Chains A and B, each alone.
Chain A
Amino acid sequence: MTSAVKRLWKTEKNLGTSKGIDMNKTHSVDNYLHKELLRFTTAGSVDDGKSTLIGRMLYDSKAIFQDQMEALERTSTLRGDDEVDLALLTDGLRAEREQGITIDVAYRYFSTPKRKFIIADTPGHVQYTRNMITGASTADLAIILIDARNGVLTQSKRHGFIASLLGIRHLLVAVNKMDLVGWSEDVYNKIVEDYTTFSEKLEIHDMTFIPISALKGDNVVDKSKHLPWYDGGTVMHYLESVTISSDRNLIDFRFPVQYVVRPHLDFRGFAGRIASGTIKVGEEIISLPSCTESRIKEIIFYEDKLEEVFEGQSVIITLEDEIDISRGDMIVRKHNVPTVSNTFEAILCWMDDTKPLNTSTFYEIQHTTKNVQGYVRNLRYKIDVNTLHRESADHLLLNEIGKVRIETTSPLFFDPYTKNRQSGSFILIDPAANLTVGAGMIVKNISEIDPDADSKIKSTNVMWEDRIVTREDREEKYGQKAQVFWFTGLSGSGKTTLARELEKKLFDEGKQVYLLDGDNIRHGINGDLGFTEKDRKENIRRIGHIAKLLYNAGFIVLCSFISPKREMREFVRGLFPEGSFSEVFVKCDIKRCISRDPKGLYKKALAGEILNFTGITAVYEEPEDAEIVIDTEKVSIQDGVGKLGSRLIGKQTGDGIPE
């Protein structure tokens, strides 16, 4: 049987009980064309039933040709199987059918009246993780299959983790083979609990669990009769109805130049595909890396001249001025430019089965349409996919994932991957072997390498130049590591007392240290801000950047602010390299704080004289992963300062790898 699994519409008489097909809605071409496309990938450990699930989806939504079905039935009868093996439908290669495994990612296409689907059916064996990434790198959604008998395995975790790294926002965890565990609710609940615990640390926006039997067809397209305790929808229902948050960036115009088109002397255009954002004729642009300014003169595709174009379109752009531009350069809007730097940090998935990542080898880095030489300057840590813990490491092996710092021979123009998949991703090529050895995602935290990166994003024509005196030089001179302690806690919890004592202690020891608190900030630089939500945010934003300036000046910076919102504390954390920012949660029960009331503020707040007072009329969001917690009800100020001091000394001698 070699004929294709080709997706076509079925006649009404074949509809059966399938939810998927409703012929009445499908007749106009327009309707068909404008239907939303969902790209998803299946993942999970080997034998969890990925191919069977896809086969079942195709089969139950009546999407298999009769001749294929007959051939399948014959094969299954010949092999003495009780039931038709639906995995044979998607495993397109002989070796796959013979061994009953999936070797390489296969793409399947099908539609229902509600959606079009492109499925990347990916292999489950560990050695094929790179194939799994191939399938997942363009997906909107991932289905992770878990064999109910085996529970949550390393591969189930690995794939969930990779999906979250790749920016897949929706995860469907299908607990399969429920028939083999007697349709047990307890088994299902245990898996849901285990996987939820694991995935709390992942960046997944939306996670859904469904108990299924792909083999028997329960809860795939048709609702199961064996799971009365489950009142959710089926897999197909979920796929058809889930609202997909787009991974497309429609704001930041990035046009990596593919090549220069010169059909004759009077024409000079730049071919490429718009990686993100939109652009119109007449808009002001600059070209990177030259920083030359011009305007869009024409946007052309074949015989059409276009006024405005969008992310994804392949066009030719001409400019008002003669500018020297070549492949790998990037045209961007004048007031919205990416980071330009030859150093960045990235999450790297290692793909080479012959050699580990080597920090002294030159690699070729392919990013947008640019190829440059570069090397992995250091491996900051690798990630244990089972626990998501960071481990120090000096190499990465096949399928291992780590955070690296990369330096290139000429600058790249990039955005963080979380903001822009196109300009935030790259591949690493071993030029000697001509192999793709790594897939990289640039992380948002780039300030360590490029202190002015944030300002560069908004101010054009300000190219960052290497300083002659670096932070590292200052640190060496002061004999300390620059770092930030961010004290957060309720009013009256003892933050400022602790911070002041610590400042005194460090100063006496000869450290360069400075404390930022309400007194020196609110009265001066932030004197124009009030206490509205917006002003509170701006207050913290400015404090964060002031702390960053001091940090770059080599200081130990102490910041003491209630900072009740987790989001704002995370923002500040994002300004600093990992390991150099410590959140200090100064813990104290609200009753105790009220009884202390050093400034008499609680009294006023309780009397209704102060609105939005944290702890009384406004919420304080306790830190979840603070580096240091000091409970001032249990620990004396001296002991608290001692604890902080020891934390600092540890870092002073560390090698920069976060714990």
Chain B
Amino acid sequence: MDHLERLEAQSVFILREAFREFKNLVMLWSIGKDSTVLLWLAKKAFFGHVPIPLMHINTNYKIPEMIEYRDSFALKWNLNMIYGLNEKALREKQTFPDGACDRITCCRNLKSEALKHTLSGEWTRYRMDHSLKKYVVDTNREPYTGVIVGVRADEEGSRSKERYFSPRDKKNEWDVGDQPPEFWNQFKTDFAPGTHVRIHPLLDWTELNIWEYIEKEKIPVVSLYFNQGDGKRYRSLGCFPCTNSIVSKSRNVKEIIEELKSGKLSNIAERSGREQDKEDNGLETLRRDGYM
């Protein structure tokens, strides 16, 4: 087995372990490359049909193409697609683009809070109705206790501290200084009532591994990652007011892999286009409060 096959086998094992052990399991899909690889792995792990509902946290500031991509694949792959959002903050314009708060607060409002309350079932969930081909209010309000997330340890400092099965307490918070030990491939999946568990099947993948796997498996990803002729592309996707493109000529997956390996991007961190990271300890602060 080569390295990608080992990574794949490990991720599939973790996905199956999560599926077997959690009654109320959900998988976050940000439409980005990592969680799309995760979705692909789930397809492979479960005979082509993804048995786990997918959840997207919409901020209404996502790049429109991302939403189109999400819905076309939800229909094509017959996904149990759910989305949630912070309707109150959006209604009251408590956002950074509205000038009401800083970026970190905006992330907290539109993403962390929305995630927390959509997971718990307190806020409305919208579910794709495949017969109507549109979203309807989901009647299921049961809290999700297992949440599969596509974060990678190499992305940034706080993510390098994650476990494969990483508990969040009743307040959705992460006690990074006191995490359960995790040995060999023994994954403890039983946690105290009222908590939820973040499951991270991609922890050992690097950015390059992700692109190599996308190429190997011919996984369709949203075209924002590619240069469309203007010499720019996105390396990491978020909300458009806070996400910048990078200068790059890469028009396809192969060229991105070459670009990553050639060293052209080596002066720039992967998430350097994500403005919230630049605030002092922005991402760590957010992640301790429940950000993905």
Which residue of chain A has its CB nearest to the CB of B45?
Answer: A314
> Chain A 310-332 against B: per-residue CB contact (8 Å), 1 yes, 0 no?
10111010000000000100000
B1 touches A137 (CB 8 A): no
Q: In the complex, A506→B191 CA distance in Å?
A: 58
Contacts of B257 in A (CB 8 A): 29
Which residue of chain A has its CB nearest to the CB of B19?
Answer: A259
How many whole Å from A273's CB to the nearest CB in chain B? 5
A67 touches B269 (CB 8 A): yes
Contacts of A27 in B (CB 8 A): 261
B28-36, B61-69, B95-103, B153-161 - interface stretch: B153-161
Q: In the complex, A258→B45 CA distance in Å?
A: 12
Q: In the complex, A138→B184 CA distance in Å?
A: 6
The number of inter-chain residue pairs (CB within 8 angstroms) is 202
Contacts of A108 in B (CB 8 A): 154, 160
Given contacts A4-B154, A273-B9, A314-B12, contact A107 B20 (CB under 8 A): no
Contact of A118 among B181, B188, B204 (CB under 8 A): B204
**CB-contacts of A90-132 with B (<8 A):** 91-95, 103-109, 116, 118, 130-131
B181 touches A351 (CB 8 A): yes
B181 touches A131 (CB 8 A): yes
B263 contacts A by Cβ under 8 Å: yes
A314 touches B16 (CB 8 A): yes
Q: How many residues of A contact B (CB 8 A)?
A: 73
B267 contacts A by Cβ under 8 Å: yes
A33 contacts B by Cβ under 8 Å: yes
How many whole Å from A67's CB to the nearest CB in chain B? 6
Contact of B272 among A3, A23, A131, A258 (CB under 8 A): A3
A380-388, A424-432, A491-499, A526-534 - interface stretch: A424-432
Which residue of chain A has its CB nearest to the CB of B203?
Answer: A107
B13 touches A65 (CB 8 A): no
A620 contacts B by Cβ under 8 Å: no
How many whole Å from A577's CB to the nearest CB in chain B? 26
Given contacts A33-B3, A94-B284, contact A104 B269 (CB under 8 A): no
A105 touches B161 (CB 8 A): yes
Q: In the complex, A475→B271 CA distance in Å?
A: 70
A6-14, A205-213, A335-343, A597-605 - interface stretch: A6-14
Which residue of chain B has its CB nearest to the CB of A137?
Answer: B183
Which residue of chain A has its CB nearest to the CB of B265?
Answer: A8
Contacts of B268 in A (CB 8 A): 65-67
**CB-contacts of B214-270 with A (<8 A):** 215, 257, 260-270
Which residue of chain A has its CB nearest to the CB of B254?
Answer: A29
A271 touches B16 (CB 8 A): yes
B188 touches A302 (CB 8 A): no
Q: In the complex, A137→B184 CA distance in Å?
A: 5
A273 touches B204 (CB 8 A): no
Contacts of B185 in A (CB 8 A): 273, 422
How many whole Å from B281's CB to the nearest CB in chain A? 5
Contacts of A133 in B (CB 8 A): 181, 183
* 25 chain-A/chain-B pairs, Cβ below 8 angstroms: A3-B271, A3-B272, A4-B269, A4-B271, A5-B154, A6-B154, A6-B270, A8-B208, A9-B266, A33-B4, A92-B158, A92-B160, A93-B157, A94-B281, A103-B177, A106-B160, A107-B153, A109-B154, A133-B181, A134-B163, A259-B20, A302-B44, A327-B20, A366-B188, A429-B190
- Which A residues contact B (CB, under 8 angstroms)? 2-11, 14, 23, 26-27, 29, 32-35, 37, 65-68, 91-95, 103-109, 116, 118, 130-131, 133-134, 137-138, 258-259, 261, 263, 271, 273, 301-303, 310, 312-314, 316, 327, 351, 366-367, 421-422, 425-427, 429, 431, 434-436, 439
Closest 3 CB pairs of A and B: A92-B157, A3-B269, A4-B156
